């Protein structure tokens, strides 16, 4: 079912891409946009995860460079009955995290240095479990490809804003200058609505599944509160430059919008915390400790070379 939704979503975003091409260059522009969109869909399926990780300067770590973090993710993945994903750390002071990959066999989880500094072990486990929940539900394919295509629509629309309207007679666009300007604003807005709508509903599900994986709903709730507060105070410049990727993070890395409506990339943090608190009441004594509580490394709680500052080495 997730693959069907992904196919429908890609078809819709491709249609938006073609509409922008038509507004800019008429039928010729629409055909070029279709060819570009088809190639982009194929490329994104295989490479969108690498593009996003590279976009944020993510660095892959292993049991030698960040032993406790990697062992924690390994334990959580086993609890979730998932293959071990690749683990990345992003040198960014804003506390945040995301998952990516076209399927569980090719998944990756990434955490910022700000998150590893701010959160305790149980909270980090909750965040990593949330990201593994996205992997388990096959959300990562949809979220990553949507980020790539939506970003491309915005770029094409910006191109059309500067070059489309003045060439109506030559390019065959039926909309004229005013129509083209409206189109290049509406198309990226429509793409944004699509990606925001799919993200919001899935965050609640990933919160619940992640809490069940780590066994500590309140630790995840505490992590969400800390991350939301940090995201309001610490800018994420890479995310600001690539806003189409905002829905991939556990908390909106941009404005931290808290209104539970169609135009926020995430549900209100307060609503997510309340749902986790209710889950904790229903789980009661079934809660488990975070994984690898006794695996402290002499160089620090998250590994790294001795004497180096920070949990990531």
* Domains of the chain by residue range: 2-286
Residue of 28 and 53 predicted with greater confidence:
53
Whether 16 contacts 186, CB under 8 Å: no
Q: What count of other Cβ atoms lies within 10 Å of the Cβ of residue 222?
A: 18
Which residues on neighbouring strands pair with residue 87, listed in sequence order?
61, 109
**What would the two tokens of residue 143 be?**
């979220």
pLDDT in tens, 57-86: 999 999 999 999 999 999 999 999 999 999
Half-sphere exposure of 142 (CA within 13 A, CB side): 25
Sorting pLDDT into bands at 50, 70 and 90, what band is 259? very low
Which phi and psi angles does 215 have, rounded to 5°?
Answer: 80, 10
E-only strand ranges, 4-93: 59-61, 86-90
Decide which of 59 and 282 is more confident: 59
| 131 a catalytic residue | yes
The pLDDT assigned to 232 comes to 87
> Which one of 18-32, 99-113, 137-151, 231-245 scores highest in mean pLDDT?
99-113
Count of alpha carbons within 13 angstroms of residue 293, beta-carbon side = 6
Q: Which two tokens stand for residue 90?
A: 């992003």
Backbone torsions φ then ψ of 108, nearest 5 degrees? -145, 145
Number of C-alpha atoms within 13 angstroms, CB side, residue 76?
Answer: 37
pLDDT of residue 163: 55
Q: Positive or negative, the Cα torsion across 240, 243, 246, 251?
A: positive
Which residues neighbour 110 within 8 Å (Cβ) at sequence distance 6 or greater?
A: 53, 56, 58, 87, 88, 89, 90, 97, 98, 99, 100
Determine the pLDDT at residue 190.
64
Give the Cα separation of 205 and 134 in Å (integer): 9
The whole-number average pLDDT for the span 253-259 is 59
Question: Of all helices (H) and strands (E), which one includes residue 186?
Answer: helix 176-214
Q: Is 127's pLDDT higher than 80?
A: yes
Residue 70 CA neighbour count, 13 Å, CB half: 17
Residue 245 corresponds to which tokens in the numbers above?
């990727």
Q: Provide mean pLDDT across the span 245-258.
A: 77
Tokens encoding 123? 């909270």
Report the chain's mean pLDDT, rounded to a whole number.
Answer: 78
pLDDT > 70 fraction of the chain, expressed in percent and rounded: 63
Residue 165 has pLDDT above 90, yes or no: no
Q: What is the pLDDT of residue 185?
A: 64
Which of 51-55, 181-185, 272-276 is modeled with the greatest confidence? 272-276
Active-site position among 63, 123, 131, 203: 131
Tokens 């700000």 locate to 114
């Amino acid at each position: 079912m997730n693959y069907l939704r992904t196919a429908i979503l890609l078809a819709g975003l491709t249609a938006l891409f073609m509409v922008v091409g038509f507004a800019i260059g008429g039928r010729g522009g629409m055909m070029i946009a279709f060819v570009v969109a088809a190639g982009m869909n194929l490329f994104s399926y295989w490479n969108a995860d690498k593009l996003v990780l590279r976009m944020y300067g993510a660095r892959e770590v292993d049991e030698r460079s960040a032993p406790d973090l990697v062992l924690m993710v390994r334990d959580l993945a086993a609890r979730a009955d998932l293959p071990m994903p690749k683990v990345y750390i992003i040198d960014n002071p804003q506390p945040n995290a995301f998952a990516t990959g076209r399927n569980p066999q090719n998944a990756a989880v990434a955490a910022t240095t700000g998150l590893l500094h701010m959160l305790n072990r149980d909270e980090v486990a909750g965040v990593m479990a949330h990201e593994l929940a996205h992997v388990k539900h096959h959300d990562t394919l949809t979220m990553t490809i949507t980020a790539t295509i939506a970003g491309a629509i915005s770029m094409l629309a910006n191109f059309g804003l500067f070059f489309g309207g003045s060439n109506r007679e030559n390019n065959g666009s039926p909309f004229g200058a005013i129509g083209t300007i409206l189109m290049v604003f509406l198309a990226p807005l429509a793409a944004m609505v699509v990606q925001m709508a799919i993200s919001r509903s899935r965050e609640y599900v990933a919160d619940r599944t992640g809490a069940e994986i780590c066994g500590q709903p309140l630790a995840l709730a505490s992590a969400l509160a800390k991350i939301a507060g940090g995201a309001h105070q610490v800018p994420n410049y890479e995310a600001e430059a690539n806003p189409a990727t905002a829905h991939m993070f556990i908390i909106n890395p941009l404005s931290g919008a808290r209104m539970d409506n169609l135009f926020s990339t995430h549900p209100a943090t307060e609503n997510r915390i309340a749902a986790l608190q209710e889950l904790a009441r229903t789980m009661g004594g079934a809660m488990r400790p975070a994984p690898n509580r006794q695996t402290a490394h002499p160089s620090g709680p998250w590994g790294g070379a001795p004497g180096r500052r920070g949990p990531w080495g």
